[in-house]
Amino acid sequence: MVPTPGGADARGSSPLPPHLWRELAPQVLGVMVRRYRDFAACEDAVQEALIAAAAQWPREGVPDNPRGWLIHVAIRRLTDHVRAESARRHRESLTVSLVPPDEQIAMAADSDGARGHEREHDDTLDLLFMCCHPALSPASAIALTLRAVGGLTTAEIARAFLVPEATMAQRISRAKQSIEVAGRQFEMPAGEALAARLGSVNHVLYLIFSEGYSASTGSALIRTDLSSEAIRLTRLLRRLVPDSAEVAGLLALMLLTDARRVARTDAEGGIVPLDEQDRTLWDQARIAEGVALISQTLPLGRVGPYQLQAAIAALHDEAATADATDWRQILALYQVLRAISPNPMVALNHAVATAMVDGPAAGLAELDGLTADARLANHHRLESVRGHLLERAGDRAGAIACYRRAADRTTSAAERDYLLLRAARLEESSEPTAK
Amino acid sequence: MKYILMMNHPGKGPYEVMSWPEEDLKRHIGFMKTFARKLAAAGELVMAEGLGTPDQAKLIRAGKDGQPITDGVFPESKEFLVGFWIVDVETTERAIAIATEASAAPGRGGKPMSIPIEMRQVMSTPPVEP
């Protein structure tokens, strides 16, 4: 992300490296929200503390415990605000209820430090759970997560999602309001509830990643940064919950998918399908990290959808050529995935794998069984997959018709271009494809 | 001053580009991408969007009960909006020049399409009082 000059963001003149800011801000906010619950007020207070730090630290040096300093100042700002507000409204009781009794006296800057890293982790995790609260729409959760945990400015998030800054500011502000309502009865979940909430966080992080990865419109450069941000946040989440196999699976999936990013589009931004990608462009360091991660996670035996998708991505990434792809194993993995997480896209991918193992006719037969699914009947992906399988089966006219139907239905300009070009190429190829 | 330049697909029937040969398609797509890049580099591009195909278009009206009345494709329409640019330029002449260039996008056999571009001014904020 390109830092915004002159925004309400304190990083510009900071004596701290930007990544430290980005790590400190959510930690401080996590502590504040955990204590006081009032998300919007805490965020304002943290912003003010960051701005104070940006003004003071260059003059007086960075304090020994920057985190403690920021927490201390943020608490002071928050209590100032609450007092001013309640005085204005003659509602002294609010101060008492909002600020816990033991903290109505200003705290020592590092009083929080005693409980150490565990507490710090809990605070950030708590913040993630809040931002990805199931009460929020995905769009709101994404924006809030990037703002509060990612530490991106509203302007940066707006640019990444190609909406005006005022629109994004409003989306974030509405999300905060929902959080406040939900936050009142918020408690750190445990057991199955914890797994469910972790699932919501995973989902939001995955959506952020896909948004950057698909880069269907607008400036691809800005949007791919969303993928990097999602990976960074997932690494953070993994540090917070190292025992979660699905978080590890999600991180592996992101790494193994992101490894192919450069090869996925040509110089003009056109789509290059997996079997035509220049595999020398794939990021081997990413692949190695992702493969190692999924290899140590799968044997744990707590298999979930992200781990399975990561395992499939690993098989693609490890194939030296498209022909060398281990489709048999991919098919087996899709079978498990279809059993534990049935959805139309998994069913489609399963049909592709079937076609690669047992031939296009078998894949096409499987597709016929899917047309009854209302979610797929008019979906461009169904027609696109059918087109590819018909092309492989030698039915050129059928394939062309499918590609053009898919082009008609897709909402991605890049995909439409790809499908139309594919249809045109097929129409012009003088040699009929082999049966 | 800002203008919206609307590219309309002339005539009835399916999207013309749907059945173009590969070379013509490539040339056309390449032109559109370069065109947007050039406008952006000149600091004149506000936004450019392509729209979904007319087959997917819907016409929506609120009924008496406030419920939506949705029509599907409307074959009586003579033309369809396929995409638009919003540009921020110094002069009307410059906007016309940009529209002319867009209109000459290469079509079948690389021949300029002379596709009609409707140009409308985007309303601005009220003038600042002196």
Tens of pLDDT along A214-250?
654 445 555 668 899 899 999 999 998 999 999 999 9
Taking alpha carbons only, the member of A78, A74, A77, A58 closest to residue A12 is: A58
Cα–Cα distances in angstroms (integers) from residue B65 to residues A167, A317, B56, B61, B62, in the given order = 30, 56, 25, 11, 8
Lowest-pLDDT range of A14-28, A169-183, A227-241, B43-57 = A14-28
Per-residue pLDDT reduced to its tens digit, B85-112? 999 999 999 999 999 999 999 999 999 9
Supply the DSSP string of A319-369, one letter for each residue: -SSGGG--HHHHHHHHHHHHHHS--HHHHHHHHHHHHHHH-HHHHHHHHHH
For chain A, what percent of residues have pLDDT higher than 90? 41
A164 at B interface, C-beta within 8 A: no
- CB pair distance less than 8 Å for B20 and A407: no
Taking alpha carbons only, the member of A421, A4, A410 closest to residue A214 is: A410
- CB pair distance less than 8 Å for B33 and A269: yes
Please tell me which residue of chain B has the smallest CA distance to A420. Answer: B18
- CB pair distance less than 8 Å for B29 and A409: no
Please tell me which residue of chain A has the smallest CA distance to B20. Answer: A424
Residue A162, min C-alpha distance to chain B (Å):
10
Residue A120 has pLDDT above 70, yes or no: no
Residues of B in contact with A409 (CB under 8 A): 53, 56
Residue B62, min C-alpha distance to chain A (Å):
25
A413 at B interface, C-beta within 8 A: yes
Which pLDDT score, from 0 to 100, does residue A99 have?
Answer: 46
Residues of B in contact with A417 (CB under 8 A): 25, 29
A contact test, residue of B9, B25, B46 with most A CBs within 10 A: B25
pLDDT interval class at A105 (50, 70, 90): very low
- In this prediction, residues A315-341 reach a mean pLDDT of 96
The residues of B whose Cβ lies within 8 A of any Cβ of A are 15, 17-22, 25-26, 29-30, 33, 49-50, 52-53, 55-56
Query: How many beta-carbon contacts under 8 Å exist across A and B?
Result: 37
Residue A380, min C-alpha distance to chain B (Å):
12
Cα distance between residue B109 and residue B130, in whole Å: 55
Which pLDDT score, from 0 to 100, does residue B73 have?
Answer: 62
Is the model more confident about A57 or about A104?
A57
- The answer to whether A236 and A125 have CB atoms below 8 angstroms apart is no
pLDDT interval class at B74 (50, 70, 90): low
A269 at B interface, C-beta within 8 A: yes
pLDDT interval class at A110 (50, 70, 90): very low
| Start-to-end Cα distance in chain B | 19
Per-residue pLDDT reduced to its tens digit, A286-311? 999 999 999 999 999 899 999 999 99
Residue A14 has pLDDT above 60, yes or no: no
Per-residue pLDDT reduced to its tens digit, B10-69? 765 556 778 889 999 999 999 998 998 899 888 899 888 888 877 778 888 898 998 888
Query: How big, in percent rounded to 5, are the helix, strand and coil portions of chain A?
Result: 75, 0, 25
Lowest-pLDDT range of A60-74, A309-323, A358-372 = A60-74
Residue A419, min C-alpha distance to chain B (Å):
10
- In this prediction, residues A81-100 reach a mean pLDDT of 56
Look up the pTM and report it.
Answer: 0.78
Burial class (CB in 10 A: 0-12, 13-18, 19+), A344: middle
For chain A, what percent of residues have pLDDT higher than 70? 82
Tokens at B88, concatenated: 């921020």
Which pLDDT score, from 0 to 100, does residue A46 have?
Answer: 87
Q: Which residues, including other chains, have CB under 8 Å from residue A80's CB and lie 6 or more apart?
A: none
Cα distance between residue B69 and residue B80, in whole Å: 21
Please tell me which residue of chain A has the smallest CA distance to B36. Answer: A218
Per-residue pLDDT reduced to its tens digit, A45-76? 888 888 888 888 888 888 888 888 899 899 88
pLDDT interval class at A90 (50, 70, 90): low
Residue A2 has pLDDT above 50, yes or no: no
Residues of B in contact with A407 (CB under 8 A): 18, 53
The helix/strand/coil state of A196 is: helix
One-letter amino acid of B123: M
Please tell me which residue of chain A has the smallest CA distance to B22. Answer: A424
Residue A86 has pLDDT above 70, yes or no: no
Tokens at A329, concatenated: 């194993």
- CB pair distance less than 8 Å for A428 and B55: no
Question: Using CB atoms, which residue from B17, B21, B33 is nearest to A268?
Answer: B33
Which pLDDT score, from 0 to 100, does residue A102 have?
Answer: 44
Residue A266 has pLDDT above 90, yes or no: no
Residues of B in contact with A428 (CB under 8 A): 21-22
The helix/strand/coil state of A50 is: helix
Residue A16 has pLDDT above 80, yes or no: no
ipTM: 0.79
Which pLDDT score, from 0 to 100, does residue A87 have?
Answer: 63
B contact test, residue of A222, A412, A417 with most B CBs within 10 A: A417
- CB pair distance less than 8 Å for B30 and A268: yes
- In this prediction, residues A267-293 reach a mean pLDDT of 94
Q: What is the enclosing helix (H) or strand (E) of A374?
A: helix A374-377
Which pLDDT score, from 0 to 100, does residue A91 have?
Answer: 45
Q: Which long-range CB contacts under 8 A does A308-311 form with residues at least 24 apart? A: A308/A249, A308/A333, A308/A336, A308/A337, A308/A340, A308/A341, A309/A249, A309/A253, A309/A337, A310/A249, A310/A250, A310/A252, A310/A253, A310/A256
Residues of B in contact with A270 (CB under 8 A): 29
A411 at B interface, C-beta within 8 A: yes
Question: Using CB atoms, which residue from B26, B50, B56 is nearest to A409?
Answer: B56
Supply the DSSP string of A273-334, one letter for each residue: -GGGS-GGGS-HHHHHHHHHHHHHHGGGS---HHHHHHHHHHHHHH-SSGGG--HHHHHHHH
